[in-house]
Chains A and B, each alone.
Chain A
Amino acid sequence: MKVLSEDRTRKLFEKLTKYIGVNVKLLIDRPDGTYCFREKKDRVYYISERLLQLAQTVKPDHLISAGTCFGKFTKTNKFRLHITALTYIAPYAPYKIWVKPSAEQQFLYGHHVIKSGLGRITENVPKHQGVVINTMSDIPIGFGVVARSTTECRHADPLATIAFHQADIGEYIRSEDTLV
């Protein structure tokens, strides 16, 4: 478990602010203890200080994961969020998209959200904003990036892509071995 370098920390926070904006502070400034980000094999883990100390007693070779995996740094040094981060992103996300029950499965199979599947969208979502995607019953099922702003959505044709797929909870099954 390494401490993230400054460059990587910035990349991580920049990515997180795309989804939850100012609320990133709440992830670090928590009343229930100190939490931090640690890196292991290019994967970033969100872990409490107490748990980290316990994890450090395990030999690094034997430790597979500790805390919650937020995502990983690619070979080109870009940060990519994993679906495992959804638990922390969903409650704080200011921008959301609700998909119709008929389009849920399409999304969970890794497809983009199209206009016909769009149930509801937060007002004033700018283009290329990270959003959390919910079902109509307010259960978060993944996150994506908006392809059209809310105002543009109104005039889009039914097959136009509204949000690009980034991660969905179907990945827990589809890419079980690479998630960690």
Chain B
Amino acid sequence: MDIVNEILEREQKKAEKYKPITVEKHLELDIDVGTLLATDTNDLDIKSLSSDSERDTYLQSLARDNAQLLLNKIWELPTERIDEAIVVRLPAPKTVLPRSKPVPKPKPLSKWQEFAKAKGITKRKKDKLQWDEQLQKWVPLYGFKRSAAEKQKDWLIEVPQHIDPLTDMYEKKSSEKSEKVAKNELQRLKNIARAKKVKIPRVGLPVTSDKASATQLSTAAVVAKASTASLGKFQDKLPKEKEARGKGVHELIPGKERKRKAPIPTPQVEKENNLNLIDRILNKRPKIDMEKAVSKHIHEEQTQRSEEKKNMKPSKGPRKAKGKTNFSAKKPKAGKGQRNPGKKTPGRKRR
């Protein structure tokens, strides 16, 4: 029996050393295993917290109990054994943790990106390698291998018929390429300036490669005319000159951008202005309208003729009578007179 008591006593001592794994709580803890977080919503024991001697032991026991509960939860998860260590795969965390740094601002879109977004244009992915039929090999999209392939392909460039036959096509090609690079760089800088809202100085008319369009030419003419000290106020106007219109043209013309909007005129003033304008339009010196003149002439002729016709009918009778008494100083010609076979005229006797 001694042995039995001894063993029981030892077991009891062991049990006292380790606290039980079950913990009693009024309210259940809110446990998020993913972040290994347990939140205790139970009331604290204020009496033991306020006394200096008990505070530490109380807090320690509270922490232990809560840690025990958290570990109990972890043990409920399926365990694995990797290299003699027991491992648990934690689920995804439920608690949302606040960021330590502010959310990064979205990158400002470039002008093209904005346009593409508005139009719904999406970037298409290109293959990094492309099969070249001429060289019979795979050529990359860019890089030294690409430029080597280009060089190999362009061992000869034909000079087109419409340009000077002595132009160096290789030089032309390289200058075109460098121009493109420069343009791209300029646009990149413009995009940065636009994003930072920096005002960029005007650069004048856009440079065109070959021929300017009609709108560009008219814009250039208007800009040139306005580029005097008095902003083109005293420049003569051509008879059919038109002010250049269109998007962005107004900003190019010197002195135009500063012009303020005209105030809305009062109804009386507006009415007067309009009436003056109408008078000016109506009093325009009439051009000699050939069509009108001709049609007027035709009309007059027609009316005259119709009137004549009307007058002709009743005056037919007396006219005939007039014809009989036809006196004139002229000698009557042969074959013109009226024949009268019944009339006997003396003449040469015919044999």
Contacts and interface: CB of A to CB of B under 8 A. Distances in A.
Contacts of A138: none
B292 A34 contact: no
A154 B303 CA distance: 13
Nearest to A10: B277
A127 B291 contact: yes
B270 A126 contact: no
B267 A127 contact: no
A142 to B, nearest CB: 24
B154 to A, nearest CB: 44
Contacts of A13: 274, 277-278, 281
Contacts of A127: 291-292, 295
Contacts of A28: 271, 274-275, 278
B295 A149 contact: yes
Given A3-B265, A151-B299, A29 B281 contact: no
A22 interface: yes
B196 to A, nearest CB: 30
A14 B262 CA distance: 23
Contacts of A124: 296, 299
Contacts of B291: 126-128, 149
A160 to B, nearest CB: 15
Contacts of B271: 28-29, 34, 36
A24 B289 CA distance: 23
Contacts of B265: 3
A25 interface: yes
Interface in A22-49: 22, 24-25, 28-29, 34, 36-37, 49
B303 to A, nearest CB: 10
A77 interface: yes
Interface in B134-171: none
Interface string B262-288: 101101101100110110011000000
B300 to A, nearest CB: 9
A25 B277 CA distance: 10
Describe B's contact surface by its main secondary structure. helix
Contacts of B268: 34
Contacts of B278: 13, 17, 24-25, 28
Contacts of B282: 17, 21-22
Given A28-B271, A29-B271, A151-B302, A9 B295 contact: no
A34 B267 contact: yes
B275 A3 contact: no
Contacts of A9: 274, 277
B295 A151 contact: yes
B270 A3 contact: yes
Nearest to A1: B264
A152 B301 CA distance: 13
Contacts of B267: 34, 36, 49
B298 interface: yes
A152 B302 CA distance: 11
Nearest to A149: B295
A25 B275 contact: yes
Contacts of A154: 302
Q: Which of B282, B295, B298 has the largest number of chain A CB atoms within 10 A?
A: B295
Contacts of A22: 282
A77 B242 CA distance: 11
Interface of A: 3, 6-7, 9-10, 13-14, 17, 21-22, 24-25, 28-29, 34, 36-37, 49, 77, 124, 126-128, 149-152, 154
**Nearest 3 A/B pairs, CB to CB:** A149-B295, A34-B267, A151-B299
Given A3-B265, A7-B243, 15 more contacts: A9-B274, A13-B278, A21-B282, A22-B282, A25-B275, A25-B278, A28-B274, A28-B275, A28-B278, A36-B267, A36-B274, A77-B245, A128-B291, A151-B295, A152-B298
28 contacts: A3-B262, A3-B270, A7-B243, A9-B274, A9-B277, A10-B277, A10-B281, A13-B274, A13-B277, A17-B278, A21-B282, A22-B282, A25-B278, A28-B271, A28-B274, A29-B275, A34-B267, A34-B271, A36-B270, A126-B291, A126-B295, A127-B291, A127-B292, A149-B291, A151-B298, A151-B299, A151-B302, A152-B295
